[in-house]
């Protein structure tokens, strides 16, 4: 079994990092011989999509120029990581009502034509099947159903949609809301309990 652990917070004292660590620790206990791939997006300086990248992504490797090969190398590495994983845990702070730029950068690298999605007569098809995904968010506000800021959540709905676009439809969200405010500690404890349940339930 392989777990891909992705973090995207800029902060060392991050709530989402603490919670994904808790997930990894619990997962390791359940899977003592399992492999964990760690991808810290604050420590990985991913390239942006360029002209060379797009040309490489829509052509065959034998046709790539040196510049195209270099532009798409990080994407090849990140796609290989996600293909290898059976379970994926993503730490996602909310920044400006959506995800941090490094997490968007990672998504831009893993959403790859013919590798993680394809277009056919019936439209787009996700190619990553059978993987379990856990997204652990941390936010200062509260965005649950019926809350005044529900419509301002461009984080969870976006992640759910883009993950399903590449075939990742088994996605569980665990939210730690009210961070930095009253109720932060109890929200974190509730998230830890959900993590324990999620990891145990995944077996
Ligand atoms: C640059 C930045 C933007 C933020 N934007 C929002 C926001 O739009 N909505 C919100 O509820 N919290 C926002 N926050 C608060 C964070 O989501 C909160 O502190 C969370 O715990 C950060 O995750 P981390 O602890 O894993 O770093 C923002 C924090 C930062 C640093």
| Domain annotation for the chain: domains and CATH numbers | 2-201 (3.40.50.360)
pLDDT interval class at 37 (50, 70, 90): very high
| 98 Cα nearest atom in ligand 1 | 8
**What CA–CA distance (Å, rounded) separates 82 from 5?**
10
Ligand 1 center to residue 127 CA distance, Å?
32
Protein residue with least CA distance to atom 29, ligand 1: 95
* Mean of pLDDT values over 193-201: 94
Of the candidates 80, 60, 81, 78, the residue with the CA atom closest to the CA atom of residue 69: 60
Please name the residues in contact with 145: beta carbons below 8 A apart, sequence gap of 6 or more: none
CA dihedral over 110, 113, 132, 143, signed as positive or negative: positive
* Mean of pLDDT values over 171-200: 96
Cβ–Cβ under 8 Å, residues 11 and 95? no
Ligand 1 center to residue 6 CA distance, Å?
17
Ligand 1 center to residue 177 CA distance, Å?
10
Instruction: Extract the tokens encoding 79.
Output: 């796609």
55 compared with 202, residue with greater pLDDT: 55
> What does pTM read for this prediction?
0.97
The pairing of strands 35-40 and 132-138 is: unpaired
Of the candidates 135, 190, 138, 153, the residue with the CA atom closest to the CA atom of residue 10: 138
């Amino acid at each position: 079994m392989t777990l891909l652990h992705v973090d995207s917070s800029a902060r060392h004292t991050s709530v989402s990092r603490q919670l994904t660590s808790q997930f990894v620790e619990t997962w390791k206990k359940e899977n003592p011989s399992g492999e964990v791939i760690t991808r810290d997006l604050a420590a990985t300086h991913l390239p942006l999509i360029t002209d060379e990248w797009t040309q490489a992504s829509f052509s065959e490797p034998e046709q790539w120029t040196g510049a195209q090969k270099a532009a798409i190398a990080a994407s090849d590495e990140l796609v290989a990581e996600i293909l290898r994983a059976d379970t994926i845990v993503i730490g996602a702070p909310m920044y400006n009502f959506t995800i941090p730029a490094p997490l968007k950068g990672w998504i831009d690298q893993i959403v790859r034509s013919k590798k993680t999605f394809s277009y056919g007569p019936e439209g787009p098809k996700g190619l990553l099947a059978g993987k379990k995904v856990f997204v652990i968010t941390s936010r200062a506000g509260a965005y649950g159903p019926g809350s005044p800021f529900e419509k301002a959540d461009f984080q969870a709905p976006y992640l759910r949609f883009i993950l399903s676009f590449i075939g990742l439809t088994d996605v569980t969200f665990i939210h730690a809301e009210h961070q930095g405010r009253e109720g932060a500690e109890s929200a974190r404890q509730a998230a830890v309990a959900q993590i324990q349940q999620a990891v145990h339930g995944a077996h």
